[in-house]
């Protein structure tokens, strides 16, 4: 019975999460992705770019520090294992410098060990993400940073207004799913004035 109760709580929690409005950082939030893997940089960069974030990338610790100082990112995803300077060294340096100290930092690694998590906490990272990771995990990290006040929240999208010459009722009658072309009258939709009238049937 206890196991069934736990399952119910997990399902209920999932339903609440899906019903909650999505929490995101503002469009054009600048994110620095630091990883020696070109694949990780490309995949993480694509995920973030598709959600409206501006992405800058570095393949090693030295480049990461230069971009953090000059690019002024709002968030850093930082791999622990890097060629030359390690991610921990980059983290310590960013936390020591006044200009970069406030930047939220999420450490990423394919090797999750208690010692690594200890150092992440000790040197002031905001979160940790294990490789491989999916889109949901990436945006959950951002969500948690927004909820914690480490990143601003994205303003809700304003409702689109109907174009000039169209009433709100006509605008609302347009379906949200694109269907094959049919005569507008068949759906009670206003005729498109830019389209020629269909030929009369014989």
**Buried/exposed code over 25-42 (b: 16+ C-beta within 10 A; e: otherwise):** beeebbbbbbbbeeebbe
Within 10 angstroms of residue 4's Cβ, the number of other Cβ atoms is 8
Query: pLDDT (tens digit, 9 = 90+) per residue, 111-121?
Result: 766 556 666 66
pLDDT of 134: 92
pLDDT of 105: 96
Q: Would you say residue 8 has pLDDT above 50? A: no
The Cα-based distances of 180 to 78, 125, 175, 177, 192 in angstroms read: 47, 51, 12, 10, 15
The Cα 8–Cα 13 span in angstroms is: 8
pLDDT of 198: 56
The 3-class SS string of 33-81 reads EECCCHHHHHHHHHHHHHCCCEEEEECCHHHHHHHHHHHCCCEEEEECC
Cis peptide bond N-terminal to 132, omega within 30: yes
The Cα 150–Cα 193 span in angstroms is: 50
pLDDT of 172: 73
pLDDT of 164: 73
Confidence at 123, pLDDT banded by 50, 70, 90? confident
The Cα 68–Cα 45 span in angstroms is: 16
pLDDT of 67: 97
> What domains sit in the chain, N to C, each tagged with a CATH number?
20-147 (3.40.50.2300)
pLDDT of 19: 43
pLDDT of 189: 52
Q: In Å, how far from its chain's centre is CA 201? A: 52
pLDDT of 9: 40
Query: pLDDT (tens digit, 9 = 90+) per residue, 147-178?
Result: 999 999 988 754 556 667 778 787 677 665 55
Percent of the chain scored above 90 by pLDDT?
Answer: 49
The tally of CA atoms less than 13 A away on the side-chain side of residue 68 is 29
In order, the DSSP letters of 73-140 are -SEEEEESS-SSS-HHHHHHHHHHSTTTTTS-EEEEES---HHHHHHHHHTT-SEEEESS--HHHHHH
Hey, is 30 helix, strand or coil? Answer: strand
Q: Would you say residue 129 has pLDDT above 50? A: yes
């Amino acid at each position: 019975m206890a196991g069934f109760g736990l399952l119910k709580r997990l399902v209920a929690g999932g339903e609440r999460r899906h019903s909650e409005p999505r929490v995101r950082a503002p469009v054009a939030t600048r994110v620095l992705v630091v990883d020696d893997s070109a694949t990780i940089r490309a995949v993480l960069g694509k995920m973030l770019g598709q959600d409206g974030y501006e992405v800058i990338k570095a393949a090693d610790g030295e480049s990461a520090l230069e971009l953090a100082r000059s690019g002024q990112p709002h968030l850093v995803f930082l791999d622990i294992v890097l060629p030359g300077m390690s991610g921990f060294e980059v983290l310590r340096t960013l936390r020591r410098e006044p200009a970069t100290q406030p930047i939220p930092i999420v450490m990423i690694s394919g090797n999750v060990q208690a010692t690594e998590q200890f150092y992440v906490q000790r040197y002031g990272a905001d979160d940790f993400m294990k490789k491989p990771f999916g889109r949901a995990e990436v945006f959950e990290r951002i969500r948690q940073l927004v909820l914690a006040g480490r990143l601003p929240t994205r303003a809700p999208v304003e409702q689109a207004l109907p174009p000039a010459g169209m009433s709100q009722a006509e605008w609302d009658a347009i379906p949200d799913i694109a269907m094959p072309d049919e005569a507008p009258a068949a759906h009670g939709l206003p005729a498109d004035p830019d389209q020629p009238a269909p030929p009369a049937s014989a």
